[in-house]
Structure 1
Amino acid sequence: MAIQITSRQLFIDGEWREPVLKKWIPVINPATEEIVGDIPAATAEDVEIAVDAARRAFSWNEGKYWASTSGPFRAKFLHAISSMILERKSELAKLEVVDTGKPLDEAASDMDGVASCFKYYAELAEALDAKQKAPVSIPVQSFKTYDLKEPIGVVALITPWNYPLLMAAWKIAPALAAGCTAILKPSELASV
């Protein structure tokens, strides 16, 4: 499978950016040991920029707070991601093969799992608003206690090399469904 990876950039604040120090890491196809492209070598400065952007997105985005949007609103995005994953399944599976060295049929199966994960959390998000505030039974009758479910803010997510897109989905989908924003740090060994 002769795929060349075009140079990647960091996706921060809704746009593609070069890393601050303009350094890159080669992407090596583990099956052939060929360099097939490169990825940005993000540094602490890049992380700061990303965290600041995620904080802004959490608290203010196009006139709305992401954290205060409804579960059904967030679910629309998660359903769209699921659909796009399935639309690009073949392309994504091939990239996963070049990135990780796994067999194509396994990578294709992983893409089904990625789409299913986003769909699952979209469905949970659709029902989330009704469960935001739930009474908690306690033995003292004169007190009322509630369990309030709300987003916590920016979450930092780190994924390993062996199931890069699937494990990213396992982390990103629930964070977005809950109303959090996220910073994803994939493995430098498999981050395409």
Structure 2
Amino acid sequence: MAIPIPSRQLFINGNWTEPLLKKHIPIINPSTEEIIGDIPAATAEDVDVAVEAARRALTRNKGKDWATASGAVRAKYLRAIAAKRKPELAKLETVDCGKPLKESEADMDDVISCFEYYAELAEGLDAKQKAPISLPLKAFKSHVIKEPIGVVGLIVPWNHPLLMAIWKVAPTLAAGCAAILKPSETCLELGEVCREVDLPVGVLSILPGLGPEAGAPLASHPPC
């Protein structure tokens, strides 16, 4: 299948950013074993930059941040992302993985369904905030407050790249957390989709790279 592979950098803070150490990894089409492009390779230095951007996304604008946005607002973004680029993403997935196009198209349908599912759950969170808990003693009151846990690191495999990424990205964003995704190659296009729907900067960063150089620093990064 002849399809151009977009030239991308790391997706950090809403922008395409060259890796600080300028490392890249070739993309190989499994069906032809040809090198059809390359992707940026993040390192610990890039992980630190992305983590800081995610922290800012959760605390900026005096409360008008991703963590305190309503579930309805977050759902709007999830649905907007789901509506973008199905045919193009399916073709990229096929070239990257070597799977049949029909299977990739089915994966994209599942991606859309996943975003829709978590958009509904995000909307449902609005009705559950500060839910009272019944106690036997009337002198006491207790409430459950559902709050985002902060910055979340996500590492996903290659065999269903975008779908497996969305299994993690969608619930993370729906809950009001910021995410740093270390994915397989074609997931970088998710960054361009986020730009198209004006997802608040820093909410999602995408850092492909090798396990020891990008995955390990992300997994071992101090909690935010």
Instruction: Identify the residue that residue 222 of structure 2 maps to in structure 1.
Output: none
Please say if 1:135 is aligned against 2:125.
no
Higher relative contact order (CA 8 A, sep 6+): 2
Q: Choose 132-141 or 8-17, whichever is displaced more.
A: 132-141
1:3–1:36 CA contact under 8 A, matched in 2: no
Partner deviation per Cα, 1:24-61 (whole Å, 9 max, x = no partner): 10001111111010000100000000010011011116
1:157–1:185 CA contact under 8 A, matched in 2: yes
Instruction: Identify the residue that residue 35 of structure 2 maps to in structure 1.
Output: 35
1:158–1:187 CA contact under 8 A, matched in 2: no
Query: 2:125 corresponds to which letter in structure 1?
Result: L
Query: 1:117 corresponds to which letter in structure 2?
Result: C
Of 107, 110, 124, the match for 1:110 = 107
SS at match of 1:46: helix
Mapped partners of 1:139, 1:107: distance in 2:
54
1:155-174 alignment runs, 5 A limit: 155-174=152-171
- How many angstroms does 1:135 deviate by? 2.4
Mapped partners of 1:159, 1:20: distance in 2:
22
Instruction: Identify the residue that residue 124 of structure 1 maps to in structure 2.
Output: 121
Please say if 1:83 is aligned against 2:83.
yes
- How many angstroms does 1:4 deviate by? 3.1
Instruction: Identify the residue that residue 58 of structure 1 maps to in structure 2.
Output: 58
Instruction: Identify the residue that residue 71 of structure 2 maps to in structure 1.
Output: 71
Aligned-pair identity in percent equals 70
- In structure 2, relative to structure 1, the CA distance for the partners of 1:15 and 1:125 (3 Å cut) is same
Instruction: Identify the residue that residue 10 of structure 1 maps to in structure 2.
Output: 10
Mapped partners of 1:61, 1:151: distance in 2:
17
Mapped partners of 2:125, 2:74: distance in 1:
10
- Structure 1 gaps, min length 5: none
Mapped partners of 2:155, 2:11: distance in 1:
15
Mapped partners of 2:131, 2:64: distance in 1:
25
Instruction: Identify the residue that residue 184 of structure 1 maps to in structure 2.
Output: 181
Query: 1:169 corresponds to which letter in structure 2?
Result: I
- Normalising by structure 1, report the TM-score: 0.91
- In structure 2, relative to structure 1, the CA distance for the partners of 1:40 and 1:62 (3 Å cut) is farther
1:89–1:108 CA contact under 8 A, matched in 2: yes
Instruction: Identify the residue that residue 198 of structure 2 maps to in structure 1.
Output: none
- Structure 2 gaps, min length 5: 189-224
- In structure 2, relative to structure 1, the CA distance for the partners of 1:67 and 1:30 (3 Å cut) is same
- RMSD over aligned Cα atoms: 1.8
The alignment covers a number of residue pairs equal to 188
